[in-house]
């Protein structure tokens, strides 16, 4: 039997809708994947402005959902359930997508699935590739930097997280200090091409330290200070290369620690590693993590670029996998600005200290 799910994503600056079918002839089939970026609306402000984002979602959500259905060649009568991001994220935007999904669910008498955006990222690699549970996940985006043991939907255990900034946030802020437009990550990757990563020495936070947490604020401050006094393009290129290398190195070092304690499969199979989230689009980061996997005997997977950054196909997939095991939500499901995947781990210090993290934490 197949399940066809409409997914909606509005937690940051992309208004996105997708239709995904699971089961039947194909394991997973993405029938449509519409992403309307608001980057141009936010660029003049150097970052995402929550009120502008919420308003833009309201203005475009109807058309984006309609296009997702048209692209899939379907109508709402062909949909088995509707899934929407219910957090964590900018709550004004989350409310828009979730309320829209509730309205569709109520009007068409369909099940609603309130999806955790992080669970969407966690499952995103499964959109294009059959990756069995469990796997070790590095979720590395603008709002998050976490290592998770993903055993299935609703079964994620956090092994480590950032104690200050997310890696994507570091890319964005250092990008801004280098005069690059928002979002800084892709722009910094382009700038770094041909740069000498060894010219500038940057701090190595947590190097050799116990555990699998991350820290990027020292790197961010140090790089921003250096950026202020640079006057020529070659130096800016070298600094960008050094920053990218330093971020990749920390991701590798901390992931290696998680791998050291991660169990092998019961049949002695090689354990699986997945990297997902916007920063997984970075080629240097991917290459470094792939090399780590080869060195320590993990299989490596990363979603295609279009599923790394925010999208609704991953939300539809999480919705479909939840629906398949009977996990649906009531129309009173709340929009949640904060919503850790692993509530127990989130209660522990030093992570998830209210007010200390990015907008999407
Ligand atoms: O997953 P995502 O779209 O949104 C969040 O849930 O945060 O990730 C966006 C983040 C931004 O910080 C952006 O700068 C970063 O991912 N990013 C990159 C690259 N592409 C996107 N960072 C480094 N290199 C890239 N190529
Ligand atoms: Zn995201």
pLDDT of residue 317: 98
The answer on 336 and 295 residing in a single domain is no
pLDDT of residue 332: 98
**Residues with beta carbon < 5 A to ion ligand 2?**
141, 310
Whole-number Å distance between alpha carbons of 21 and 244: 37
Ligand 1 centroid to 197 CA: how many Å?
21
Strands (DSSP E) contained in 101-218 are: 112-116, 135-140, 145-150, 156-161
Q: Which ligand is nearest to the CA of 9?
A: 2
Ligand 2 centroid to 278 CA: how many Å?
7
pLDDT of residue 349: 53
Measured from the CB, is residue 10 less than 6 Å from ligand 1? Answer: no
Measured from the CB, is residue 244 less than 6 Å from ligand 1? Answer: no
Whole-number Å distance between alpha carbons of 227 and 214: 23
pLDDT band at 265 (very low <50, low <70, confident <90, very high): confident
Measured from the CB, is residue 143 less than 6 Å from ligand 1? Answer: yes
Whole-number Å distance between alpha carbons of 355 and 361: 9
Ligand 2 centroid to 202 CA: how many Å?
27
Q: Residue 15 in contact with residue 57, Cβ under 8 Å?
A: yes
The answer on 297 and 164 residing in a single domain is yes
Q: Residue 50 in contact with residue 93, Cβ under 8 Å?
A: yes
Q: Is residue 354 part of a domain?
A: no
pLDDT band at 357 (very low <50, low <70, confident <90, very high): very low
Average pLDDT, whole number, for the chain?
Answer: 93
CATH code for the domain in which residue 44 is found: 3.30.420.40
Q: Is residue 357 part of a domain?
A: no
Q: Probe ligand 1: pick from 168, 250, 276, 341, max atoms within 8 Å of CB?
A: 168
Nearest one of 57, 180, 220 to 49, comparing CA atoms: 57
Whole-number Å distance between alpha carbons of 51 and 311: 20
Q: 334 or 208, which is more confident?
A: 334
Q: Is the peptide bond before 350 cis (omega within 30 degrees of 0)?
A: yes
The answer on 215 and 81 residing in a single domain is no
The answer on 203 and 74 residing in a single domain is no
The answer on 121 and 143 residing in a single domain is no
Measured from the CB, is residue 142 less than 6 Å from ligand 1? Answer: yes
Supply the pTM of this predicted model. 0.92
Measured from the CB, is residue 42 less than 6 Å from ligand 1? Answer: no
The answer on 283 and 140 residing in a single domain is yes
Ligand 2 centroid to 289 CA: how many Å?
20
The answer on 102 and 13 residing in a single domain is yes
Read off the pLDDT of residues 146-168 as tens digits, 9 standing for 90 and up. Answer: 999 999 999 999 999 999 999 99
Q: Residue 141 in contact with residue 277, Cβ under 8 Å?
A: yes
Domain that residue 282 falls in: 133-302
Measured from the CB, is residue 282 less than 6 Å from ligand 1? Answer: yes
pLDDT band at 188 (very low <50, low <70, confident <90, very high): very high
Q: Is residue 359 part of a domain?
A: no
Ligand 2 centroid to 335 CA: how many Å?
16
Q: How many domains does the chain have?
A: 2
Q: 121 or 359, which is more confident?
A: 121
Whole-number Å distance between alpha carbons of 215 and 203: 11
Nearest one of 136, 128, 102, 82 to 256, comparing CA atoms: 136
Report the SS3 class of residue 261: helix
Query: Average pLDDT, stretch 114-123?
Result: 96
Q: Residue 303 in contact with residue 124, Cβ under 8 Å?
A: yes
Measured from the CB, is residue 255 less than 6 Å from ligand 1? Answer: no
């Amino acid at each position: 039997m197949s399940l066809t799910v409409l997914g909606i994503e509005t937690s940051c600056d992309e208004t996105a809708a997708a239709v995904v079918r699971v089961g039947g002839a194909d394991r997973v089939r993405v029938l449509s994947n519409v992403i309307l970026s608001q980057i141009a609306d936010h660029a003049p402000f150097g970052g995402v402005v929550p009120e502008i984002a919420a308003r833009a979602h309201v203005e475009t959500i109807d058309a984006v959902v309609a296009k997702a259905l048209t692209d899939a060649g379907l109508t709402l009568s062909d949909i088995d359930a509707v899934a929407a991001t219910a957090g964590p994220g900018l709550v004004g935007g989350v409310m828009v997508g979730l309320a829209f999904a509730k309205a569709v669910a109520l009007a068409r008498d369909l099940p609603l699935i309130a999806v955790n955006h992080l669970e969407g990222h966690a499952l995103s690699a499964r959109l294009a590739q059959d990756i069995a549970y469990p796997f070790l996940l590095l979720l590395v985006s603008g709002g998050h930097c976490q290592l998770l043991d993903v055993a299935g939907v609703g079964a994620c255990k956090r092994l480590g997280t950032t104690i200050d900034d997310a890696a994507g946030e570091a890319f964005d802020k250092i990008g801004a200090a280098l005069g690059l437009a928002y979002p800084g990550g892709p722009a910094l990757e382009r700038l770094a091409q041909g740069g000498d990563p060894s010219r500038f020495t940057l701090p190595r936070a947590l190097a050799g330290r116990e555990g699998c947490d991350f820290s990027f604020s020292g790197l961010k401050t140090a790089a921003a200070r250096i950026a202020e006094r640079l006057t020529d393009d070659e130096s800016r290129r070298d600094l960008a290369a050094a920053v990218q290398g330093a971020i990749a190195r920390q991701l590798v070092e901390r992931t290696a620690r998680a791998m050291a304690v991660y169990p092998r499969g019961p049949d002695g199979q090689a354990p699986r590693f997945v990297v997902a989230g916007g920063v997984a689009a970075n080629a240097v980061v991917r290459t470094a993590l792939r090399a780590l996997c080869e060195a320590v005997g993990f299989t490596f997977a990363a979603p295609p670029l279009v599923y790394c950054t925010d999208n609704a196909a991953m939300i539809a997939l999480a919705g479909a996998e939840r629906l398949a095991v009977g996990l649906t939500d009531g129309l009173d499901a709340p929009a949640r600005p904060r919503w850790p995947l692993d509530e127990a781990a989130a209660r522990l210090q030093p992570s998830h200290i209210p007010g200390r993290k990015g907008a999407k934490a």
